[in-house]
Every structure is written in structure tokens, then in C-alpha cells.
Amino acid sequence: MTNRIVGQAKQYATYGQNEVGFGDKPAILVVDLQRAFTDPAFEMGGAPMIERAVLNTGRLLDVARKATIPVAKCVMGYGSKREQPRWKVGACRDLILGRPECEIDPRVHDPAYDVTIVKNGPSIFFQTPVMTFLTGERVDTIIVTGCVTSGCVRASVVDSFQFGFRTIIPEDCVGDHDEQPHQDNLRDVQRRYADLSNADQVIDYIEGWRKKKAR
């Protein structure tokens, strides 16, 4: 019994063993930082962690745009309730295009620079043109920001991994409604699919990338 437990411990210790690292060309994906989730006027808006994610993502995007790093944002929205999947989240029934819930938070929005995508499932990759955009930009590294960590952020991280991208999550640029699912899901994806970082570290990387590119 003791030997088997030791063997299992060795096997489990391989979780998170390899670092993903940054590649040669990054892009930033901003998942669902729309007013339904960021504006306290709405049922699911204004959670403290999501507010923190908005502020830090805004800082990150300011630096990224100056460095000409590609930025793609998504909102979740539908033409009508008949188009919606069977969400268990009641507030998702209000995500009808044209309503204020589907407006991107202005603190992270630059319509003249960013590519904006409408999605109808959890992942920014699912049945959207984001892969066409990323391929055209010759991206190999995805920096995922947005909300919520346990839902659409996690789904987007898994798909980024499955499409072969180096995937980085600045943990203070993503948020959830509760601390526990936020931490649990970050721990889980860090063990399997992505590197965890923070806004300041990613900004330092982008500044270094910009200087290297300018040589």
C-alpha cells in the first residue's frame, strides 16, 4: 500500500511540471467584458473580482495597442431568445443583441483598433471567426483576459490550448462572481493547459517584445 501511494504521488506531481512560456507573436483575447457582467445596474454586474479584471485588462490593453499587438474581444449575444442554448444561468436569457447588456465595457473598448466578435457559446473560439483573425496575424501566444473564470474564460483557455497556442492567463485580468470557483479553475488550468501570470508581468513582456521588434 505504501509503495502504491508513493507511486501515485510521483505521478500526480507531474501536474504543472512544464512551463508553456511566451512565443514570438502574442495576441490578447478579451472574453465577455460586457455590461451584463461589469455594470452593477445589471443582475450579474459589478462583482469585485470582475471589476478588478476590467481595470487591469484596461491597463494591459493600453500597452498592447501601443505595441501593435492584435486584440480580439467578444460579447455573448443572440438575435432572439429562440436562438439561445439551454443556459442554466437565468441572466443569460437577457443577452439579446442591441440591448445594453451586450455592450462592451467602454473601459476596455477601442472600436477603431480591436476586432469584436459575437459568440453564442462559452468559448470565444466556438463557431466564430477568431481563428481566421489569429492565423492571419501569425499569432502563437494567446493572453486570455475577461470573465467569468469558471465559465467562458476557462472554455476559451481550453480551446486555445487545443488549437496549439501558448496560453497565458494574467490572473488579475480575469474574474468571477465568487472567489472559490475563480481559484479552483485557475489552479486546474494552470496544472494542465496554461501559465498563470499577472498584468504587470505581461506588460513587462509586451514592452520587451516591442523593443525587440523595433531593433
The confidence score (pLDDT) of residue 159 equals 98
Residue 205 lies in a domain: yes
How far is Cα 38 from Cα 16, in angstroms, rounded to an integer? 31
- The 10 Å Cβ neighbour count of residue 2 is 6
**8 A C-beta contact, residue 69 and residue 133:** no
The confidence score (pLDDT) of residue 1 equals 39
Q: Is 170 helix (H, G, I), strand (E, B) or coil?
A: strand
The confidence score (pLDDT) of residue 156 equals 98
Residue 13 lies in a domain: no
Catalytic residues: 152
Mean pLDDT, 10 residues at a time, over the chain (215 residues)? 47 83 97 98 96 98 98 97 90 93 98 97 97 98 98 98 98 97 97 97 96 86
Q: Is 23 helix (H, G, I), strand (E, B) or coil?
A: coil
Residue 10 lies in a domain: no
Domain count, the chain: 1
- Which residue, 126, 112, 113, is CA-closest to 32? 126
Instruction: Say what the pTM is.
Output: 0.93
16-22-25 Cα angle (round to 5): 145
The confidence score (pLDDT) of residue 8 equals 52
Residue 124 lies in a domain: yes
Residue 100 lies in a domain: yes
Q: What is the residue range of 56's domain?
A: 22-214
> What CATH number did the domain enclosing 147 receive?
3.40.50.850
**8 A C-beta contact, residue 49 and residue 179:** yes
Residue 12 lies in a domain: no
DSSP string, 95-108: -BTTSGGGSBPGGG
Q: Which residue has the cell 512565443?
A: 23
How far is Cα 83 from Cα 77, in angstroms, rounded to an integer? 10
Residue 16 lies in a domain: no
The confidence score (pLDDT) of residue 5 equals 45
The confidence score (pLDDT) of residue 91 equals 86
Helix orientation angle between 48-66 and 199-214, rounded to the nearest 10 degrees: 10
